[in-house]
A = this chain, B = another copy of it.
Amino acid sequence: MPYDLWYWPTIPGRGEFVRLALEAGGIPYRDRAREEGEDALIADMTGHDAGPAFAPPYLVTDGGTIAQTANILLYLGDRHDCAPGGIRQRHWIAQLQLTMMDMVAEAHDVHHPIAVDLYFEDQKPEAERRALAFREQRIPKFLNYFSRALAAQPGDWLGGTRWSYADLSLFHLLAGLRYAFPLRMAALHDRYRALAALQDRVAALPELSDYLASSRRLSFSEEDIFRHYPELDAP
């Protein structure tokens, strides 16, 4: 039985990290809200008594419902060909994934530093201050860490000699950062050549070529986590 993935149907968002693993792993799934619309997602979420999730994405399996992006990926990595085997590598990949999710949350809060319920326009001065700190301090701090993590591997991938869901996630995270902060990421390009090379390797994976060329791969936009507001970017 294919998995049911539930996520907002019009943005890559956090759902994209799960989609990439499902697609590259050749794992059958239905992207339910893309088939049935956002109202179906809202109805499904409110239909679970305990709440299947605090927020999408969530995955429906034979055994129940699993939420939290890194938790879904851990589950998929245990069962399908998208994570390295062995306890140590399993928790290493989970550790990297969780650190990426922390950076994703910070990238979101750049344009929403005060409240998710307010518009960007209602928190713009604060967003400009937070963007400065994110560009100057946080992007290098996270990317230095991922660079060191990659350099310590015996192979070309974060988990060693074969790609895992963490590489797919880093590919999407870097793409999102380049979309939202093109000037800053261009200025940092030479410092993070090894990460850019990893991004290129993922983009060239035969397992992903159909997906990346398809309409299933949604575009970034200013409704998403990674948003390009020119006033928040600088070299």
Chain A residues proximal to chain B, CB less than 8 Å: 49-51, 53-54, 63-64, 66-68, 70-71, 74-75, 87-88, 91-92, 94-95, 98-99, 102, 105, 109, 113-118, 123, 126, 129-130, 132-133, 137, 142, 145, 148-149, 151-152
Interface centre among A51, A88, A91, A98, by most chain B C-beta atoms within 10 angstroms, is: A91
In contact, A66 and B95 (Cβ under 8 angstroms): yes
A49 with B98, Cβ < 8 A, contacts A114-B113, A137-B115 known: no
In the complex, which residues of chain B have a beta carbon less than 8 angstroms from the beta carbon of A151?
A: 49-50
Query: A126 touches which one: B66, B94, B113, B116 (CB < 8 A)?
Result: B113
In the complex, which residues of chain B have a beta carbon less than 8 angstroms from the beta carbon of A149?
A: 50-51
Residue of B nearest to A132 (CB): B115
- Assembly stoichiometry (copies): 2
A176 CB to closest chain B CB, in angstroms? Answer: 18
In contact, A54 and B102 (Cβ under 8 angstroms): yes
Query: A114 touches which one: B91, B115, B133 (CB < 8 A)?
Result: B133
Known pairs A49-B152, A116-B137 / 20 extra A-B pairs, C-beta < 8 Å: A49-B151, A50-B151, A51-B149, A64-B88, A64-B91, A64-B92, A66-B92, A67-B99, A68-B99, A70-B70, A71-B95, A74-B74, A74-B91, A109-B109, A113-B113, A113-B126, A113-B130, A114-B133, A115-B129, A123-B129
In the complex, which residues of chain B have a beta carbon less than 8 angstroms from the beta carbon of A74?
A: 74, 91, 94
Query: A102 touches which one: B75, B105, B114, B133 (CB < 8 A)?
Result: B105
- Give the top 5 A-B pairs by smallest Cβ distance, nearest first: A50-B152, A115-B133, A68-B98, A63-B88, A64-B88
In contact, A68 and B49 (Cβ under 8 angstroms): no
In the complex, which residues of chain B have a beta carbon less than 8 angstroms from the beta carbon of A145?
A: 51, 54
In the complex, which residues of chain B have a beta carbon less than 8 angstroms from the beta carbon of A102?
A: 54, 105
